[in-house]
Protein backbone atom coordinates (compact mmCIF):
# COMPACT_ATOMS: atom_id res chain seq x y z
CA UNK A 1 0.00 0.00 0.00
CA UNK A 2 1.44 3.36 -0.99
CA UNK A 3 1.80 6.16 1.51
CA UNK A 4 -0.74 8.27 -0.39
CA UNK A 5 -3.31 5.48 -0.29
CA UNK A 6 -2.73 5.08 3.43
CA UNK A 7 -3.29 8.81 3.98
CA UNK A 8 -6.47 8.71 1.92
CA UNK A 9 -7.74 5.80 3.98
CA UNK A 10 -6.83 7.54 7.22
CA UNK A 11 -8.83 10.59 6.10
CA UNK A 12 -11.85 8.35 5.50
CA UNK A 13 -11.43 6.80 8.94
CA UNK A 14 -10.98 10.19 10.60
CA UNK A 15 -7.61 9.49 12.22
CA UNK A 16 -6.28 12.94 13.25
CA UNK A 17 -2.55 12.21 12.83
CA UNK A 18 -2.73 12.12 9.04
CA UNK A 19 -0.02 14.66 8.32
CA UNK A 20 2.49 13.12 10.70
CA UNK A 21 4.99 10.45 9.76
CA UNK A 22 3.87 8.44 12.79
CA UNK A 23 0.35 7.07 12.45
CA UNK A 24 -1.33 7.12 15.86
CA UNK A 25 -4.71 5.48 16.18
CA UNK A 26 -7.06 4.21 18.84
CA UNK A 27 -7.92 0.54 18.99
CA UNK A 28 -11.33 1.23 17.42
CA UNK A 29 -9.63 3.08 14.56
CA UNK A 30 -7.30 0.12 14.14
CA UNK A 31 -10.35 -2.12 13.79
CA UNK A 32 -11.78 0.15 11.09
CA UNK A 33 -8.46 0.25 9.26
CA UNK A 34 -8.21 -3.53 9.33
CA UNK A 35 -11.80 -3.86 8.12
CA UNK A 36 -11.21 -1.48 5.20
CA UNK A 37 -7.76 -2.74 4.30
CA UNK A 38 -7.77 -6.52 4.62
CA UNK A 39 -7.92 -8.28 1.25
CA UNK A 40 -9.07 -11.61 2.68
CA UNK A 41 -12.07 -9.91 4.24
CA UNK A 42 -12.91 -8.17 0.97
CA UNK A 43 -12.64 -11.49 -0.88
CA UNK A 44 -15.00 -13.16 1.59
CA UNK A 45 -17.51 -10.32 1.19
CA UNK A 46 -17.33 -10.68 -2.62
CA UNK A 47 -17.97 -14.42 -2.33
CA UNK A 48 -21.08 -13.68 -0.28
CA UNK A 49 -22.40 -11.24 -2.89
CA UNK A 50 -21.73 -13.78 -5.65
CA UNK A 51 -23.71 -16.47 -3.79
CA UNK A 52 -26.60 -14.04 -3.32
CA UNK A 53 -26.60 -13.35 -7.05
CA UNK A 54 -26.68 -17.11 -7.73
CA UNK A 55 -29.67 -17.43 -5.43
CA UNK A 56 -31.57 -14.71 -7.31
CA UNK A 57 -30.62 -16.39 -10.58
CA UNK A 58 -32.12 -19.70 -9.43
CA UNK A 59 -35.46 -17.97 -8.76
CA UNK A 60 -35.83 -17.53 -12.52
CA UNK A 61 -36.52 -21.27 -12.87
CA UNK A 62 -39.98 -20.70 -11.37
CA UNK A 63 -40.94 -18.05 -13.93
CA UNK A 64 -42.10 -18.57 -17.55
CA UNK A 65 -39.76 -18.15 -20.51
CA UNK A 66 -40.68 -15.73 -23.29
CA UNK A 67 -38.77 -16.14 -26.57
CA UNK A 68 -38.88 -14.22 -29.82
CA UNK A 69 -37.57 -15.67 -33.07
CA UNK A 70 -37.38 -14.41 -36.60
CA UNK A 71 -36.39 -16.21 -39.77
CA UNK A 72 -36.01 -15.53 -43.48
CA UNK A 73 -36.41 -18.14 -46.23
CA UNK A 74 -35.73 -17.66 -49.88
CA UNK A 75 -36.99 -20.36 -52.27
CA UNK A 76 -36.56 -20.99 -55.95
CA UNK A 77 -38.54 -23.65 -57.82
CA UNK A 78 -37.84 -24.69 -61.36
CA UNK A 79 -39.79 -27.02 -63.65
CA UNK A 80 -39.58 -27.81 -67.36
CA UNK A 81 -41.67 -24.81 -68.31
CA UNK A 82 -41.56 -22.35 -65.39
CA UNK A 83 -39.30 -20.94 -62.74
CA UNK A 84 -40.63 -19.30 -59.57
CA UNK A 85 -38.97 -17.53 -56.68
CA UNK A 86 -40.28 -16.48 -53.30
CA UNK A 87 -39.23 -14.84 -50.06
CA UNK A 88 -40.84 -15.56 -46.69
CA UNK A 89 -40.34 -13.79 -43.35
CA UNK A 90 -41.54 -15.48 -40.18
CA UNK A 91 -41.78 -13.89 -36.74
CA UNK A 92 -42.77 -15.99 -33.72
CA UNK A 93 -43.38 -15.31 -30.03
CA UNK A 94 -43.32 -18.33 -27.71
CA UNK A 95 -44.29 -18.53 -24.05
CA UNK A 96 -43.30 -21.67 -22.12
CA UNK A 97 -43.72 -22.68 -18.51
CA UNK A 98 -42.61 -25.71 -16.60
CA UNK A 99 -45.37 -26.99 -14.33
CA UNK A 100 -43.55 -29.87 -12.67
CA UNK A 101 -40.05 -31.29 -12.91
CA UNK A 102 -39.86 -33.52 -9.86
CA UNK A 103 -39.11 -30.65 -7.40
CA UNK A 104 -35.76 -30.03 -9.14
CA UNK A 105 -36.18 -26.24 -9.30
CA UNK A 106 -37.11 -26.04 -5.63
CA UNK A 107 -34.09 -28.15 -4.73
CA UNK A 108 -31.77 -25.97 -6.81
CA UNK A 109 -33.11 -22.87 -5.08
CA UNK A 110 -32.52 -24.46 -1.66
CA UNK A 111 -28.96 -25.36 -2.72
CA UNK A 112 -28.17 -21.74 -3.58
CA UNK A 113 -29.88 -20.63 -0.37
CA UNK A 114 -27.56 -22.90 1.61
CA UNK A 115 -24.60 -21.53 -0.35
CA UNK A 116 -25.50 -18.04 0.90
CA UNK A 117 -25.58 -19.32 4.49
CA UNK A 118 -22.18 -20.97 4.03
CA UNK A 119 -20.63 -17.74 2.71
CA UNK A 120 -22.22 -15.78 5.55
CA UNK A 121 -20.61 -18.21 8.02
CA UNK A 122 -17.28 -17.94 6.17
CA UNK A 123 -17.44 -14.15 6.44
CA UNK A 124 -18.26 -14.35 10.15
CA UNK A 125 -15.34 -16.73 10.69
CA UNK A 126 -12.98 -14.45 8.77
CA UNK A 127 -14.03 -11.43 10.84
CA UNK A 128 -13.56 -13.41 14.04
CA UNK A 129 -10.14 -14.67 12.96
CA UNK A 130 -8.94 -11.19 11.96
CA UNK A 131 -10.23 -9.80 15.24
CA UNK A 132 -8.24 -12.48 17.08
CA UNK A 133 -5.10 -11.58 15.12
CA UNK A 134 -5.58 -7.88 15.89
CA UNK A 135 -6.18 -8.48 19.61
CA UNK A 136 -3.10 -10.71 19.78
CA UNK A 137 -0.93 -8.19 17.91
CA UNK A 138 -2.09 -5.32 20.13
CA UNK A 139 -1.54 -7.44 23.25
CA UNK A 140 2.04 -8.11 22.11
CA UNK A 141 2.46 -4.40 21.33
CA UNK A 142 1.46 -3.22 24.80
CA UNK A 143 3.27 -6.08 26.51
CA UNK A 144 6.48 -5.02 24.78
CA UNK A 145 5.81 -1.33 25.43
CA UNK A 146 5.14 -1.90 29.14
CA UNK A 147 8.14 -4.23 29.34
CA UNK A 148 10.40 -1.43 28.13
CA UNK A 149 9.12 0.85 30.89
CA UNK A 150 9.48 -1.92 33.46
CA UNK A 151 13.01 -2.90 32.45
CA UNK A 152 14.12 0.73 32.41
CA UNK A 153 12.84 0.93 35.99
CA UNK A 154 14.55 -2.36 36.87
CA UNK A 155 17.81 -1.19 35.32
CA UNK A 156 17.71 1.97 37.42
CA UNK A 157 16.87 -0.09 40.50
CA UNK A 158 19.75 -2.51 39.83
CA UNK A 159 22.10 0.42 39.33
CA UNK A 160 21.03 2.00 42.62
CA UNK A 161 21.40 -1.35 44.35
CA UNK A 162 24.92 -1.74 42.97
CA UNK A 163 25.86 1.70 44.28
CA UNK A 164 24.47 0.81 47.68
CA UNK A 165 26.36 -2.52 47.82
CA UNK A 166 29.61 -0.89 46.63
CA UNK A 167 29.29 1.77 49.31
CA UNK A 168 28.89 -0.87 51.99
CA UNK A 169 31.76 -2.89 50.48
CA UNK A 170 34.06 0.15 50.64
CA UNK A 171 33.15 0.63 54.29
CA UNK A 172 33.97 -3.02 54.99
CA UNK A 173 30.41 -4.08 55.70
CA UNK A 174 29.88 -6.18 52.51
CA UNK A 175 31.87 -8.80 50.63
CA UNK A 176 33.20 -8.81 47.05
CA UNK A 177 30.80 -11.54 45.97
CA UNK A 178 27.79 -9.33 46.70
CA UNK A 179 29.29 -6.58 44.53
CA UNK A 180 29.93 -8.95 41.61
CA UNK A 181 26.42 -10.39 41.87
CA UNK A 182 24.93 -6.89 41.87
CA UNK A 183 26.93 -6.07 38.72
CA UNK A 184 25.64 -9.26 37.09
CA UNK A 185 22.09 -8.20 37.91
CA UNK A 186 22.71 -4.87 36.20
CA UNK A 187 24.08 -6.62 33.10
CA UNK A 188 20.97 -8.83 33.03
CA UNK A 189 18.73 -5.77 33.33
CA UNK A 190 20.46 -4.20 30.30
CA UNK A 191 19.95 -7.41 28.33
CA UNK A 192 16.27 -7.57 29.33
CA UNK A 193 15.81 -3.96 28.22
CA UNK A 194 17.41 -4.71 24.84
CA UNK A 195 15.18 -7.77 24.43
CA UNK A 196 12.08 -5.71 25.26
CA UNK A 197 13.02 -3.10 22.64
CA UNK A 198 13.49 -5.83 20.02
CA UNK A 199 10.14 -7.32 20.99
CA UNK A 200 8.50 -3.92 20.61
CA UNK A 201 9.99 -3.46 17.12
CA UNK A 202 8.77 -6.92 16.16
CA UNK A 203 5.27 -6.08 17.37
CA UNK A 204 5.29 -2.96 15.15
CA UNK A 205 6.29 -5.13 12.19
CA UNK A 206 3.44 -7.52 12.99
CA UNK A 207 0.93 -4.66 13.00
CA UNK A 208 2.32 -3.28 9.74
CA UNK A 209 1.88 -6.68 8.14
CA UNK A 210 -1.63 -7.05 9.51
CA UNK A 211 -2.67 -3.67 8.10
CA UNK A 212 -0.74 -4.11 4.85
CA UNK A 213 1.41 -1.03 5.53
CA UNK A 214 4.92 -0.26 4.38
CA UNK A 215 7.81 -0.74 6.79
CA UNK A 216 8.53 2.99 6.89
CA UNK A 217 5.02 3.72 8.20
CA UNK A 218 5.38 4.08 11.96
CA UNK A 219 2.39 2.86 13.98
CA UNK A 220 1.27 3.74 17.48
CA UNK A 221 -1.80 2.41 19.28
CA UNK A 222 -3.01 4.89 21.87
CA UNK A 223 -5.17 2.67 24.08
CA UNK A 224 -5.58 -0.94 25.11
CA UNK A 225 -9.00 -2.56 24.61
CA UNK A 226 -10.77 -3.40 27.85
CA UNK A 227 -11.17 -7.03 28.85
CA UNK A 228 -14.63 -7.45 30.45
CA UNK A 229 -14.93 -9.55 33.57
CA UNK A 230 -16.37 -13.00 32.86
CA UNK A 231 -19.86 -13.80 34.04
CA UNK A 232 -20.22 -15.97 37.11
CA UNK A 233 -22.96 -18.03 35.49
CA UNK A 234 -22.04 -20.93 33.25
CA UNK A 235 -22.49 -19.94 29.59
CA UNK A 236 -25.26 -21.50 27.54
CA UNK A 237 -22.91 -23.71 25.55
CA UNK A 238 -25.72 -25.19 23.46
CA UNK A 239 -26.81 -21.76 22.26
CA UNK A 240 -23.19 -20.72 21.64
CA UNK A 241 -22.72 -23.82 19.51
CA UNK A 242 -25.91 -23.16 17.55
CA UNK A 243 -24.82 -19.58 16.84
CA UNK A 244 -21.24 -20.56 16.01
CA UNK A 245 -20.31 -19.94 12.34
CA UNK A 246 -18.79 -23.40 11.99
CA UNK A 247 -22.08 -24.97 13.10
CA UNK A 248 -24.00 -22.82 10.64
CA UNK A 249 -21.61 -23.83 7.88
CA UNK A 250 -21.85 -27.56 8.61
CA UNK A 251 -25.65 -27.32 8.91
CA UNK A 252 -25.92 -25.45 5.61
CA UNK A 253 -23.63 -28.00 3.97
CA UNK A 254 -25.91 -30.79 5.22
CA UNK A 255 -28.92 -28.95 3.80
CA UNK A 256 -27.11 -28.66 0.48
CA UNK A 257 -26.42 -32.39 0.37
CA UNK A 258 -30.07 -33.16 1.16
CA UNK A 259 -31.26 -30.90 -1.64
CA UNK A 260 -28.71 -32.31 -4.07
CA UNK A 261 -30.15 -35.76 -3.36
CA UNK A 262 -33.64 -34.39 -4.03
CA UNK A 263 -32.45 -32.81 -7.27
CA UNK A 264 -30.93 -36.07 -8.52
CA UNK A 265 -34.00 -38.10 -7.57
CA UNK A 266 -36.18 -35.65 -9.48
CA UNK A 267 -34.65 -37.01 -12.67
CA UNK A 268 -36.61 -40.20 -12.01
CA UNK A 269 -39.93 -38.32 -12.03
CA UNK A 270 -41.88 -36.98 -15.03
CA UNK A 271 -41.55 -33.46 -16.36
CA UNK A 272 -44.62 -31.48 -17.40
CA UNK A 273 -44.41 -28.35 -19.57
CA UNK A 274 -46.91 -26.11 -21.36
CA UNK A 275 -46.19 -23.87 -24.30
CA UNK A 276 -48.05 -21.29 -26.37
CA UNK A 277 -46.84 -19.49 -29.48
CA UNK A 278 -48.01 -17.12 -32.16
CA UNK A 279 -46.25 -16.72 -35.52
CA UNK A 280 -46.68 -14.32 -38.44
CA UNK A 281 -45.27 -14.89 -41.90
CA UNK A 282 -45.37 -13.12 -45.24
CA UNK A 283 -43.36 -11.66 -48.10
CA UNK A 284 -41.83 -8.89 -45.99
CA UNK A 285 -40.59 -8.57 -42.41
CA UNK A 286 -43.75 -6.92 -40.98
CA UNK A 287 -46.19 -8.91 -43.05
CA UNK A 288 -48.93 -10.92 -41.36
CA UNK A 289 -50.34 -12.66 -44.44
CA UNK A 290 -50.32 -15.92 -42.54
CA UNK A 291 -50.96 -16.33 -38.82
CA UNK A 292 -50.38 -19.43 -36.77
CA UNK A 293 -51.42 -19.98 -33.16
CA UNK A 294 -50.27 -22.94 -31.16
CA UNK A 295 -50.98 -24.13 -27.62
CA UNK A 296 -49.68 -27.42 -26.27
CA UNK A 297 -48.49 -29.39 -23.32
CA UNK A 298 -45.97 -32.18 -22.97
CA UNK A 299 -45.21 -34.85 -20.42
CA UNK A 300 -41.76 -36.46 -20.44
CA UNK A 301 -40.65 -39.37 -18.32
CA UNK A 302 -37.27 -40.99 -18.59
CA UNK A 303 -37.87 -44.69 -17.98
CA UNK A 304 -34.30 -45.96 -18.27
CA UNK A 305 -30.93 -44.26 -18.72
CA UNK A 306 -28.52 -47.02 -17.93
CA UNK A 307 -28.82 -46.70 -14.15
CA UNK A 308 -26.94 -43.40 -13.96
CA UNK A 309 -29.68 -41.71 -11.91
CA UNK A 310 -29.75 -44.59 -9.44
CA UNK A 311 -26.01 -44.57 -8.82
CA UNK A 312 -25.91 -40.77 -8.73
CA UNK A 313 -28.61 -40.75 -6.04
CA UNK A 314 -26.72 -43.45 -4.09
CA UNK A 315 -23.59 -41.29 -4.18
CA UNK A 316 -25.58 -38.24 -3.06
CA UNK A 317 -27.09 -40.25 -0.20
CA UNK A 318 -23.64 -41.19 1.12
CA UNK A 319 -22.53 -37.57 0.77
CA UNK A 320 -25.52 -36.56 2.90
CA UNK A 321 -24.58 -39.10 5.59
CA UNK A 322 -21.02 -37.80 5.57
CA UNK A 323 -22.32 -34.26 6.13
CA UNK A 324 -24.43 -35.51 9.04
CA UNK A 325 -21.38 -37.09 10.69
CA UNK A 326 -19.35 -33.92 10.11
CA UNK A 327 -22.05 -31.86 11.84
CA UNK A 328 -22.06 -34.24 14.83
CA UNK A 329 -18.26 -34.21 15.04
CA UNK A 330 -18.23 -30.41 14.86
CA UNK A 331 -20.54 -30.33 17.89
CA UNK A 332 -18.19 -32.56 19.88
CA UNK A 333 -15.17 -30.45 18.90
CA UNK A 334 -16.91 -27.20 19.75
CA UNK A 335 -18.22 -28.25 23.14
CA UNK A 336 -14.71 -29.35 24.10
CA UNK A 337 -13.08 -26.16 22.77
CA UNK A 338 -15.63 -23.82 24.33
CA UNK A 339 -15.41 -25.38 27.78
CA UNK A 340 -11.60 -25.37 27.69
CA UNK A 341 -11.36 -21.77 26.47
CA UNK A 342 -13.94 -20.57 28.99
CA UNK A 343 -12.05 -22.25 31.83
CA UNK A 344 -8.80 -20.69 30.60
CA UNK A 345 -10.46 -17.26 30.51
CA UNK A 346 -11.74 -17.59 34.09
CA UNK A 347 -8.35 -18.82 35.29
CA UNK A 348 -6.57 -15.96 33.50
CA UNK A 349 -8.76 -13.38 35.27
CA UNK A 350 -8.02 -14.94 38.64
CA UNK A 351 -4.32 -15.23 37.76
CA UNK A 352 -4.12 -11.48 37.07
CA UNK A 353 -5.88 -10.75 40.35
CA UNK A 354 -3.53 -13.05 42.27
CA UNK A 355 -0.47 -11.66 40.51
CA UNK A 356 -1.54 -8.11 41.41
CA UNK A 357 -1.87 -9.12 45.09
CA UNK A 358 1.57 -10.74 45.12
CA UNK A 359 3.02 -7.67 43.39
CA UNK A 360 1.54 -5.30 45.97
CA UNK A 361 2.93 -7.43 48.78
CA UNK A 362 6.35 -7.65 47.11
CA UNK A 363 6.55 -3.88 46.71
CA UNK A 364 5.86 -3.36 50.40
CA UNK A 365 8.36 -6.04 51.45
CA UNK A 366 11.01 -4.58 49.11
CA UNK A 367 10.65 -1.12 50.61
CA UNK A 368 11.02 -2.50 54.12
CA UNK A 369 13.94 -4.74 53.14
CA UNK A 370 15.82 -1.89 51.45
CA UNK A 371 15.49 0.24 54.55
CA UNK A 372 16.70 -2.62 56.77
CA UNK A 373 19.65 -3.43 54.51
CA UNK A 374 20.64 0.21 54.27
CA UNK A 375 20.66 0.43 58.08
CA UNK A 376 22.57 -2.80 58.50
CA UNK A 377 19.59 -4.70 59.92
CA UNK A 378 19.39 -7.29 57.10
CA UNK A 379 21.93 -9.50 55.38
CA UNK A 380 22.58 -9.16 51.64
CA UNK A 381 21.25 -12.64 50.84
CA UNK A 382 17.91 -11.97 52.50
CA UNK A 383 17.60 -8.55 50.85
CA UNK A 384 18.62 -10.01 47.48
CA UNK A 385 15.89 -12.64 47.72
CA UNK A 386 13.21 -10.02 48.36
CA UNK A 387 14.52 -7.78 45.54
CA UNK A 388 14.46 -10.63 43.05
CA UNK A 389 10.99 -11.62 44.16
CA UNK A 390 9.75 -8.08 43.47
CA UNK A 391 11.26 -8.03 39.98
CA UNK A 392 9.92 -11.48 39.17
CA UNK A 393 6.46 -10.43 40.36
CA UNK A 394 6.61 -7.35 38.15
CA UNK A 395 7.50 -9.49 35.14
CA UNK A 396 4.86 -12.05 36.04
CA UNK A 397 2.16 -9.39 36.25
CA UNK A 398 2.87 -8.18 32.71
CA UNK A 399 2.83 -11.75 31.41
CA UNK A 400 -0.44 -12.53 33.20
CA UNK A 401 -2.09 -9.41 31.72
CA UNK A 402 -0.96 -10.39 28.24
CA UNK A 403 -2.16 -13.97 28.77
CA UNK A 404 -5.57 -12.66 29.86
CA UNK A 405 -5.93 -10.54 26.72
CA UNK A 406 -5.03 -13.48 24.48
CA UNK A 407 -7.36 -15.78 26.44
CA UNK A 408 -10.21 -13.31 25.91
CA UNK A 409 -9.40 -13.04 22.19
CA UNK A 410 -9.28 -16.84 21.95
CA UNK A 411 -12.67 -17.13 23.66
CA UNK A 412 -14.21 -14.62 21.25
CA UNK A 413 -12.76 -16.50 18.30
CA UNK A 414 -14.10 -19.83 19.58
CA UNK A 415 -17.65 -18.42 19.74
CA UNK A 416 -17.26 -16.65 16.40
CA UNK A 417 -17.37 -13.03 17.56
CA UNK A 418 -14.82 -10.23 17.88
CA UNK A 419 -14.12 -6.56 17.41
CA UNK A 420 -15.11 -6.58 13.70
CA UNK A 421 -18.88 -6.50 13.41
* Span of 43-57, 79-93, 236-250 with lowest mean pLDDT: 79-93
* Range of 10-24, 76-90, 207-221, 390-404 with top mean pLDDT: 390-404
If you average pLDDT over residues 114-135, what whole number do you get?
Answer: 96
- Report if residue 75 sits inside a domain: no
- Report if residue 295 sits inside a domain: no
pLDDT-based confidence at 14, cuts 50/70/90?
low
- Tell me what pLDDT residue 319 has: 96
- Report if residue 323 sits inside a domain: yes
- Considering only residues 408 and 281, tell me which one the structure prediction assigns the higher pLDDT: 408
How far is C-alpha 246 from the geometric centre of its chain's CA atoms?
A: 11
- Report if residue 278 sits inside a domain: no
Count of the separate structural domains present in the chain:
1
- Report if residue 365 sits inside a domain: yes
Contacts from 307-312 at CB under 8 Å and sequence distance 24+? 309/264, 309/265, 309/267, 309/268, 312/264, 312/267
- Tell me what pLDDT residue 21 has: 55
- Considering only residues 38 and 408, tell me which one the structure prediction assigns the higher pLDDT: 408
- Tell me what pLDDT residue 1 has: 45
pLDDT-based confidence at 230, cuts 50/70/90?
confident
Query: What is the Cα–Cα distance from 353 to 9, expressed in whole angstroms?
Result: 40
If you average pLDDT over residues 219-226, what whole number do you get?
Answer: 90
* Span of 76-80, 100-104, 358-362 with lowest mean pLDDT: 76-80
- Considering only residues 355 and 82, tell me which one the structure prediction assigns the higher pLDDT: 355
pLDDT-based confidence at 349, cuts 50/70/90?
very high
- Tell me what pLDDT residue 284 has: 77
pLDDT surpassing 80 at residue 6: no
Q: Is 172 left (phi over 0), alpha (psi -120 to 50) or beta?
A: left
pLDDT surpassing 60 at residue 325: yes
- Considering only residues 181 and 18, tell me which one the structure prediction assigns the higher pLDDT: 181
Residues 6+ apart with CB under 8 A from 358: 393, 396
Output the pTM of the full model.
0.84
- Report if residue 89 sits inside a domain: no
pLDDT-based confidence at 285, cuts 50/70/90?
confident
- Report if residue 187 sits inside a domain: yes
pLDDT-based confidence at 32, cuts 50/70/90?
very high
If you average pLDDT over residues 51-63, what whole number do you get?
Answer: 93
Residue 328 sits in which domain range?
3-65+102-270+307-415
Q: CB burial class (10 A; 0-12, 13-18, 19+) of residue 119?
A: buried
User: Of the candidates 159, 136, 174, 95, which has an alpha carbon nearest to the alpha carbon of residue 373?
Assistant: 174
Q: Is 296 left (phi over 0), alpha (psi -120 to 50) or beta?
A: beta
Q: Is 32 left (phi over 0), alpha (psi -120 to 50) or beta?
A: alpha
If you average pLDDT over residues 96-106, what whole number do you get?
Answer: 91
pLDDT surpassing 70 at residue 373: yes
Which stretch of DSSP H or E encloses residue 83? strand 83-100
- Report if residue 276 sits inside a domain: no
User: Residue 143 is part of a domain; what is its CATH number?
Assistant: 1.20.1600.10
pLDDT tens-place string over residues 295-312 = 999 999 988 888 898 999
Average pLDDT, the chain: 90
pLDDT-based confidence at 19, cuts 50/70/90?
very low
- Tell me what pLDDT residue 307 has: 87
pLDDT surpassing 60 at residue 376: yes
If you average pLDDT over residues 230-252, what whole number do you get?
Answer: 92
- Considering only residues 19 and 239, tell me which one the structure prediction assigns the higher pLDDT: 239
pLDDT-based confidence at 210, cuts 50/70/90?
confident
Amino acid sequence: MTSQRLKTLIVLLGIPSLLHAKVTMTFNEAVLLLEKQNLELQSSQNNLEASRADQKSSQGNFLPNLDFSTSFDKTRSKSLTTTSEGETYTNALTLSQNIFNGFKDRAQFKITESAVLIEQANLQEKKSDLSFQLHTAVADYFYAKNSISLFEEIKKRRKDNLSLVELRYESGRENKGSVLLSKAYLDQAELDLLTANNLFNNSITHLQKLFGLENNEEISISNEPDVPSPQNATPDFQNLINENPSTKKYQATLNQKEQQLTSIRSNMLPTWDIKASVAYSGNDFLSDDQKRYQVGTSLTWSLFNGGSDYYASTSALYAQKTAEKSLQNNFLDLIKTLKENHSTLIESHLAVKASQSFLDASKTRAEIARSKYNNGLMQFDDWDTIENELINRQKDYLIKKRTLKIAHATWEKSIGTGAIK
